Structures are given as structure tokens and as C-alpha cells.
Structure 1
């Protein structure tokens, strides 16, 4: 026997069902919006797990803070930012040889990842093993440059004896002997940082606001000398660097192979991070008043074309011919710098005493460095030894 069942019709849709369904859709939509917002927030944050960030975090955890009492000879930390080796190592060998022992200085080198300073790669025993094991690949005009600087400062801060920190390029030379430079830096109670208002080049990106207001935007040489407390400010920063990484980037050079694409690329905002970061960070930290607002490193600039750009200011290289004693005396005789954007003359002083502006100079070729040595600028040295083949 076949049993017949009565087909039931669906219940009528009531206003309550409509409201309940609408609420469910609204909740789902809200959850999706929250997930999307969280994703966008995370994507805008610095990569906390990148090699440079994790290395910096480990170094930061080992820093002896300035509040910790320190007793003993204070050191200058010489921080070399190198492409690979240090070509002028033979000059620095003589410089550190005349330092009277290693109790008053330390050396740190950020080089290409994996590069090791030993008997086969450097003529100076002072550089042996001084490379950072956590170095990163660096590109000029990129944020990686300031990340490398921060790694140098963070590593040097691990030694509480380091009380002054000097950032140098691999083409820098000292203009005085160690004793003069040591006394000059240790006598100063201020950091020496080239810092001035940037009102002409338009490198400030309005998108940096409100984190970085335009009034705090600064420019200057990346070759700085910091006291310990300011070095800590530099490595502790977690606010300004992410903004720089996102909005301060170098405009790519013109490449004829890209054709019309160049027009689009040249409309990008142009910013060179290493010429603005430290200066802006210290201004944001209300530390302008604790600085000698100048650089210790002399650079001879030329407004001429280079290989990648049509025209602009570029550092000139000193060779054997133009590194004559008279030129070196002229550099050492400079005692003030004029900043036209601020109509300011910065007289070079240490604790109100007028001093030479520059302790170092760049960019020097090997021939120019040999001339400095032969004329006894940094100490006595037999330049004939440089003609001997490396072991």
C-alpha cells in the first residue's frame, strides 16, 4: 500500500525573519571589513621579521643603556659603512697604530653580507674580524642605507665604553692624528650632525604628515658623530623609520631602454633617505638644541653630470695631484659653514671654543691617501711598503 504524504508549504516570510537575516549579513560584512583593515594595517608596518629588523632587535637587547654607570677609559667607536673592503686600510693602520693602544677606540664595519676582514682581505690588523655578522645588502638612495647605519650603532652600543660614535665611509681619511681627534670629540658634550631646513628641493612628501610634520623636516650629510644618548635614540626609533621606508625613496634614474615609461617614473617623488633620516629623527625628538649643526667630514661637491643622472651635485674624488699639502691646509683651516636656506653661519666650536670644522675628508683615492701618509698627516709611514704584494 502506498502511503500518501501531504506536501507542506514553506512558512511565510515574516518581518522578524527579514530583520534577523539583515543583522546576520551586517555582522558578516563588519567582520570582513575588520579583517581587511587589519590586513592593510599589517601591510603598512615595517617588516619586523626581516633580517635587518631581527638583527637590530637582538643587538638592541644587549645595549648597555646610558643610565648604567661606566668607569674606565672612554672609547670612540669608528663605524665604517663599506661597499666591500676598506681600500684605504693602509692609512687607517697608521692612524690607529699611533693611538697608543686599543683602550680608547673600537672599530665596526658594515660590509657586503658574508665578507670577512682577515689577512687576505685587508692590510690593517685593526680591521681583522671587525665586520658585522648581521650585515644586509645596501643600495644607494634606499632605506637599506639607514638600516645598515642603525645596525652599526646598535652593535657599537653593546660596549658601554663606547661614548662617541663616528660614522665614516670607505673613502674617508682622517685629517689629524688620533690624539687630536680623540680630544676634539671627547671634549664636546654635543653630537655633531649636519642639519638644516630643506626648503628648495621638495623632497618632503606631504603623505608623511601628520607623523612627520613639514616643520620638522631636515636635511644634511649622513656622516655624523653622536654622543651615546643620541645613538640610543637612533636605534630605538620605531616611528620615523617606517614612514621613511614608505614615503622617502629615490626616483629611479632615466633609462633609455624603458622609453615612455621614463615619463611615469620621473613623476615619482624623489627623496634620498640617508640625507634626511637622522636629522629629521633628532628634530622630531626635540634635540636640535643639543647638536653642533654641522658635519665633521669635508666633501668637495661638483654640479656636473654623472653616469646615471643628467646633472646634479656629486662628490669629487681627490687624487694624488689635488691632495697637495696646500689643499689639505685649506680644508683644515675652515672654521665656519654658511647655510643659505637658513641664512645661518655656523661657526665651528667645541664648548664655545672656535675649532677647525673638519676632522675627516672624502672621497680619497689610494694615491691621495698615500700622499697624506708620505707627508705625515696622520703619522709616520713608509709608503714603499704599499708596493709590496699582499700576502
Structure 2
């Protein structure tokens, strides 16, 4: 219903539904009535999640309501015609809750080598921003991983549980990208339980990060910061002789924490977390992709850009963002950085450059661009700010993103 509105227009829509005046809502978020009026009428950009979250809290709605999430997953050759609903059915299957409610397995459990390859395919697809492919594959992969975790014993059981945890991690990350935070939470919760039972510290650390992202997706930034501190305390005793996998998981945990701190307007903690991540990256010494983290100095650098944008330091984000070479990173990381750069450029009225960055990102990862709120907000804002008809590239992009009605 509010898909084609800007965030400010959605604030106005929900405010009227709640029967609140501009004066009352502005007071609830510690702003002036003039500020809220300008925000609702697109004269001020609502581009900081800390501000958007405070408005959502005051209106008693979810962050996703103001971001117009989730968006519809288009059918494709990758996805087939069974997408998020099929994955929802899998996650909400009561037989996954306990072996007591499952029938005894009559077939041989899946071979661990095959399961290993299938989990890898899902996580690779996530990093390639092929969400349709991952969503289609996940129900079967989760079912196989669960069956293996219950059928094997000894070291094989530990590996099966680790693979189950990573499959849930993949589900949580994909669902988060698709604007399904509640389903992502279910997946992350189950993944963390499986990781702990596997006895593999690096897998448990990876699931800590998945839970952190779930908290970020629902606007619980302070809780996410606390989780990172608590998880780091659990992981720190093994840092002394940690291998690169462990260091990568530890470092990316702090990158997620830095985003949470920035969205909570906590500059000091943001910088502390970025420094901690940088120290881990320096120990590794180069960009890598251990445990599907894409962790290294470049990932730290793009988080410096992203946190600057969240803190409102737009000029820093634009200047630094354009100088970072992301070509060695997975598609998902490259495109996420491009969205931050496009936002910063647009905020400085460098719309043509921002559009060029966004179009290039769409070429690399159409699904990721379509499902990210920044893409939709940028395009709607450009259309609202244009007198007369928008340019053909903007109008065509709007149609592809599904934010403006058209044939």
C-alpha cells in the first residue's frame, strides 16, 4: 500500500492512521514540528536509520513498515515459483523443533560430502547476490542438514551440526536481505543452537554475527552492540593462536557491531569496533573470504564509509567511498558499498553520478538492488524532486525496482 511513497510520506501516512498530530509525533522523537513537516514533505531526507527507527518506535510500527519491507521476490529461472513461502514453511515445520515429533528416518542420511557442497552452494549464492537461487535451494538443504545432524554420531555428528548451523546462517542472511527479519531471527536462533552443539568455535562466532544482523534489521541497535560485546568476550580467550577463519569471524562481528553503534548514534563505540576489526584484518594481512566473511582491510574500509553515512558524515562517505577499490570482494559486498556511495553522492546533489553508480550496481546484482530500501528511496526521491517527467534512465530503473506503477 505504501510501496511508492518515500519514507517521509510513509511517516505521514502512519501518523494519520495513529491519529497523531505533527506536533505530538515531533515531541515524541525530540524534534520540532517544522522538522517533521519538512520530513513528511520530502524537504528533509530521512536517510539515517537511527532517526527512522525512532519514528517507527513512536508510531508503534516496525522498522520494515517505514522501509516498505518486505518486497516481492520476482519469479526467475533461479528461483522457480516457490520462493519465500516455501522457506517459511520449512522454518515453521514443527518437526524441526525436536526429534520427538519426527518419524524415524527410513532412508540413508545424506552423505556429508554432498551436504558440504550444497551448503557451500547456498552461501556462495548469497555472496553472489543470487537470492532466488539460495531461497529455492534452502528448504531441501535445511531438511538434509537436519536429517544428517540427527542420524550421525561422533565427529560426523559434529560436522553435520556445523553444516546445519551454516545452512541456517545462509537462510538468516538471505531472509534479512529480502526484508523478512522475523523469519531470519528463527533461522539465526536455530543456527546458533546447532553451532553450539557442534563444538566449533568459529561456527558459533559466525552465528553470533547472524543474530547481530537480525537485531540490526529490526532496529534494535543498542541490543546489537551489547551482543557484540558479549560475543567478543566469549571469543577472546581463543584469539591468541587463532587461525584466519577465526580471526575473520571475529573481525566481521565487530564490523556488524560498528554498524549497530553508528545507527545508535554512538560515535565512540563505532570507532572502537572499527579499530578492533582493523586489528584482526591486519593480523590476516590481506583480503580473504574465510567462512564466507569477505573479511580483510577492504571490508573494514567500506564499513568506515557505511558508518560515516549512518552518522551523517556524508562528505566523508562520498570522498572515501569513491577511492576504495572493491573489485576483489564478492558481489554482495561490492554492491552494498555502491549503495552507500550512491546515497552519499545523492545527498550532495551529485545525482547523475549517484545514478551511474546505482545502475552499475544493478547490472552486477539486480536482486540485491531491487530488495534494498536505499535503492528504492533514492529513486523515489529523484522522481519526487524532478519537475515534469523524470529522465528515461530514472523512470526505467523505477519500473524495474517496482516502486512506480507502469507497464
With the shorter chain as reference, the TM-score category is under 0.3
Larger radius of gyration: 1
- Higher share in helix: 2
Greater relative contact order (Cα 8 A, min sep 6): structure 1 or 2? 1
Instruction: Return the TM-score normalized by structure 2.
Output: 0.22
